[in-house]
Structure formats: C-alpha cells, structure tokens
Structure 1
Amino acid sequence: MMRASGLTKKYGDKTVVDDLSFEVHPGTVTGFLGPNGAGKSTTMRMLLGLDAPTRGTATIGGRPYAAHPAPLTEVGALLEARSVHPGRTAHAHLTALALTHGIPRSRVDHVLDLAGLTEVARRRVKGFSLGMGQRLGIAAALLGDPATVILDEPVNGLDPEGVLWIRNLLKSLAAEGRTVLVSSHLMSEMALTADHLVIIGKGRLLADTTVDAFVREAGAGAVKVVTPSAAELAALLTGPSVTVTGDSPGTLTVRGCDSAHIGRTAAAHGIPLVELTPHTASLEQAFMDLTRDAVEYQATVRTPAQATARTSTQTGAQTSAQATALEGTSA
C-alpha cells in the first residue's frame, strides 16, 4: 500500500502541495488527476523520495522509498521517459539498471518483449520516437517485477495500439494484486482504466473516491430532456429550486425536479418529449466541474458567435482600409 500523510511542499512563499493525505491500495488502478500546476508531479516525486516534503510523510509498503534495500524490486516508476543516456541502446540501459540490483539478464529480455521493443533493443535511444521512449520507460519501471507501480502520463506519445497496450497492462498489474498509481490528462482513458480516483487542485485533495461514485454523484439529480419546444418547457419548469440549462438546441438539463414532474408539466401544456432520461455525467465533465475553481492556468475560450463577430470586425476594418487607400490613389 502507498500512503501520503499530510504532505506539504513549499518553494519559498509558494505552497505547491498543501496538507495532502490519501492511500493507494493493492489490486486497483488509481488515477491521480488534477489540472496543470495542481501538484501531481511534485507529489509523485515526494512519494519516491526525489523531493523532501516540507511537512508530512510518504511511505510505500510501510516505509519510505529510500528505506527499501532494493527499491527497484519494490517500486517501479516512470516520471520522465527521456531520462536515459541517448548514446546507450535500450538493452544496455536496462542491463545497467538490472546490474545495480542483481536482476537477471533474462528479465531485461522479458520486459523488452513486454514493451514491444525487442526488434529495436540494440538501437541507440537517441533515435527513438516519443512513443518508443515511453515504452522503454515503462519497461524500466517493470524491470524489478515490483509490487508497486507509479506512472506519470504513460500514454503520452503513444499511438492507439500503444494506448490499448497500456490500458490492458495496468489492468493486468492490478489484477495480480499490485498497487498501481497513474496520472493522466486523458479523462476518456481514465474512465476506461481506473477503478479509483485521487483528484487534487492547487495542491489540495478534492476527491478520493471510486470512478463510478464520482461520475454518479456528478450527475445526481439531473434529467436530460429533448423537445422541439425547449424554450417553452424551460420557462414552465424554472423556479426557485429548479435550474434549467440548455446544452444544445432542443436539449435541456433540468436539476431540482424529477422525470415524473417534467413529464406531467409537458403533458399538461401539450409539449412533445423526444427524450426524458436521468442525466449521466462523463468523467471529463465531472472532473471539469470539480476543478473549475482550482485551475491555475485559465485559458480564454471564444464561442463560435464571438469568433464570427471577430471575423466580421476584421473584414470590415480591412474593407475600410482598402477603401481609404483607393480614395488616396484617386486623389
């Protein structure tokens, strides 16, 4: 089991991780999620003893990472796939790691095959693509046949076949009773891979729950309604305890009343209903809703209407400038 207890990390006046506590249990794939700048990488570095916490403790298998006599056989980690000497071959890199722990050479060949790198094992790493580098990093993480695996953005740079391979690999590791912690920005992939979620924002714990419970709670109390008379129905339903939002033309999300009340209201006013179902949130939408106030780097998103208005303004300005130039030429 992996445990973070009151982990805090400060750099000067900036608190990157703030009193963070959670546990990662064997037999499950735990997704470690958060917006950019949330403190995920710093937390992983503290779990692995690469960064010393300002306060708090981090243990894996009941002891700090550095206290394990043969850490590669206890914990396998991928934090930076490119942390390999570019002049070495994949086989030489893994062999050097194996020699530090007395790991047999047969294990090197095994993880190379597992990662799909057997054919390029004698090639220098500097010629590897991003995806090949990720595969080598994962092979290194599994070299010691560890009970605990920590992977930071393992699908980065992988093609669809590689993403599927990672998904099945993580599930198989958990099925073998290993402790698996994986971070990713791909919510669709986490929805297919993770059993449990630890979500942080601005260094603080926001959620520690199962994927199913998190998504279910995010969509609780909402009803999806599809009708050609969306505006009329929305006006009838909206009240002090009922909120109605328009997701797209003809589609409403209603919170604060159940399907039966919506159906009765529509029937009483002769409004046809095409669909009336409990709303199910996606993991991505649930994550966005939870972390909306914890995003450190907020981008500005223009709607299609704003983009059209901007284009019209630019076109008008360009036309005006051309007209002015023509007038000057005529003069």
Structure 2
Amino acid sequence: MIRAERLTKRYGDRTVVRDLSFTVRPGTVTGFLGPNGAGKSTTLRMILGLDAPTHGSATVDGRSYAAHPAPLTRVGALLDARSFHPGRTAFHHLMALAHTHGIPRSRVEHVLGVAGLSDVAGRRVKGFSLGMGQRLGIAAALLGDPAAVVLDEPVNGLDPEGVLWIRTLLTSLAAEGRTVLVSSHLMSEMALTADRLVVIGRGRLLADTTVADLVRDAGAASVLVVSPEADRLRALLPAPARTSPEGPDTLRVTGVDAPGIGRTAAAHGIELHALTPETASLEQAFMDLTRDSVEYQADRRPEPQGAAA
C-alpha cells in the first residue's frame, strides 16, 4: 500500500504540492492524473525518496522508501526511461541493479523476457529506441518482484503492440495483488486500465474516485437526436434540457436522458429517426475537472481576418 499524508513540497516561495493525501491500495491499478505542472512528478519523487517533503509523509507499506532494507523488492519504479549507462548492454544494466540486492541472473533473464527484450539483451542501450528504453525501464522496475509498482508515463514511445502489452501487464500485476500506481496523459488508456483515479491540479487533490464515478459526476453525458422536426422538439423539451445543433435535423441534448426525450416526442407526435445516448469520455470529464488548474492554455480565439498564413 502506498500512502501520501498531507504531502507538501516547496521550492523557495513556490509551492508545487499542497497538503496532498491519498492511498493506493493493493489489487488495483490507480491512475495518477493531472495537467502539466500539477505536481505529479514531484509527488512520485517524494514517494520514492528522491525528494524530501517540506511537510507530510509518503510511505510504502507503512515505511518510507529508504527505510526498506531491500527497496527494489518493495517498490519497482520507472520515472525516466533513459536512466541507464549508454555503454552497457540491456543485460548488464539489469545485472548491475540485481547485484545491489542479491537478485539472481535467472530473474534478470525472466524480466528481459517479460519485456520482450531477450533477443536484444546483448545490445548496447545507447542504440535503443525510446520504446525499447521504456521496455528496459519497466524490466528494471519488475526486477525485484516488487509488491508495488510506480510507473511514470510508461507508454511513451511504444507502438500499438507495446501499448497493449503495458495494458495487459498492469492489469495482471494488480490481479496478483500488487499495488500499481501509474501516471499518464493518455486518457483512453486510463479508461481501459485504471480501477481508481487520483487527480491533482496545482498540487492539490481534485478527485480520488473510480473512472465510472468521475465520468458520471462530470454530468457530460448526452443524447444525439435526429428528427425532421428537431426545432419543434427543441422548444418542447423540459428543463433542465440543454440543446445544441449538430447538423441538419440533428440535436445534441444534455440534461434529459433518451427515454425522457422519447416520451416528449411521442406525446407531441414528433417523428424520431435516431435517439443515441453517448456516454461522456474520461478525457472530457478530466478536462472539465482540471479546467481551472491548467498551467498553460492556448488562445482559442479565431485568427483575425487577413492575418498572414
């Protein structure tokens, strides 16, 4: 179990993480989300003992990371996929780590196989692609057969097969009863992989919930309605219906579910050609939740007429 209790980190007069508390439990994949600059990397570094909190604490199974006598067997981590000596082979990189904990060669060979790197184990890592570097970093995280795994953006640089591999790996680690904490900007992957979500913005906790509950609470579900009398239906829908045109004879309706729209149409003899409920996406729910916590926002105003191409 990973627990953050009132974590705060300041650099001079800048507070990066503010009074942050959450728990990551065994047997689940917990997604750690937030916009750029939210404090995710700093929080992960405090969990792994790389940065000291200004206030509060971060523990793994009741101890700080550094207090574990064999930390690689308690927490396996990937924070930087390029943190290896470029002149070493993949095999020797892992063997160097294994020697620090008395981990046998057979375990090194096993994680190379898990990561799909057995055939390139003798190659120097300076020639590895970003995706191969990610696989090597994940192999290192698994080296000590740890009870908890912490991964920061593990799918960066991976091809579709690699993304599927990560997805399957994370769910299998959780199914074995391990604690899995993964940071990612890919909402589509988090929707498919995560059991729970911890969302932060500007260093503060915004949500600690399940994917389904976050999407539901966002209230962004809608119904796509196609009718030759769309304008008339729009005027008849009861509050709190909100409508927006989506094309000829087509409306997007929020605030009223599909059965409610259908009853209104039937009561007034309005012909319907389509009535399609559309569940809100995790991406939209995340954007809504973090709208006020984005560090940098692009100017979405239209370009002035006559501006240079």
CA distance in 1, matches of 2:111, 2:228: 57
Contact 2:147 2:179 in 1 (8 A): yes
CA distance in 1, matches of 2:16, 2:247: 38
Contact 1:244 1:252 in 2 (8 A): yes
Corresponding residue number in structure 1 for 2:288: 289
Contact 1:10 1:16 in 2 (8 A): yes
**Residues 150 and 187 (structure 1), Cα distance of their counterparts in 2 relative to 1, 3 Å cut:** same
Contact 2:197 2:208 in 1 (8 A): yes
Corresponding residue number in structure 2 for 1:218: 218
Corresponding residue number in structure 2 for 1:322: none
1:266 is aligned to 2:265: yes
Corresponding residue number in structure 1 for 2:208: 208
**Residues 90 and 276 (structure 1), Cα distance of their counterparts in 2 relative to 1, 3 Å cut:** same
Contact 2:220 2:285 in 1 (8 A): no
Structure 1, residues 31-87: CA drift from partner, whole Å, max 9, x if none?
111111111111100110111111111000111001000000110000001111111
Contact 1:225 1:254 in 2 (8 A): no
CA distance in 2, matches of 1:138, 1:43: 19
* 208-217 or 193-202, which deviates more: 208-217
CA distance in 2, matches of 1:21, 1:229: 52
1:11 is aligned to 2:11: yes
Q: Is the partner of 1:101 in helix, strand or coil?
A: coil
One-letter amino acid of the counterpart of residue 35, structure 2: P
Structure 1, residues 244-281: CA drift from partner, whole Å, max 9, x if none?
344566131221x4545433433455432233355411
CA distance in 2, matches of 1:166, 1:260: 39
Q: Is the partner of 2:116 in helix, strand or coil?
A: coil
CA distance in 2, matches of 1:231, 1:300: 33
CA distance in 2, matches of 1:230, 1:200: 41
- Give the structure with higher Rg (CA): 1
Contact 2:220 2:254 in 1 (8 A): no
Corresponding residue number in structure 2 for 1:236: 236
Structure 1, residues 95-127: CA drift from partner, whole Å, max 9, x if none?
000000110111111111110111111111110
The gaps in structure 1 that reach 5 residues or longer are: 319-331
What value does the CA root-mean-square deviation take over the aligned residues?
2.2
Corresponding residue number in structure 2 for 1:137: 137
Q: Cα distance, 1:220 vs. partner?
A: 7.1
Contact 2:222 2:252 in 1 (8 A): no
Q: Cα distance, 1:196 vs. partner?
A: 0.8
Q: Cα distance, 1:229 vs. partner?
A: 3.9
TM-score normalised to structure 2 length: 0.92
**Residues 101 and 274 (structure 1), Cα distance of their counterparts in 2 relative to 1, 3 Å cut:** same
Contact 2:8 2:56 in 1 (8 A): yes
Identity of aligned residues (%): 74
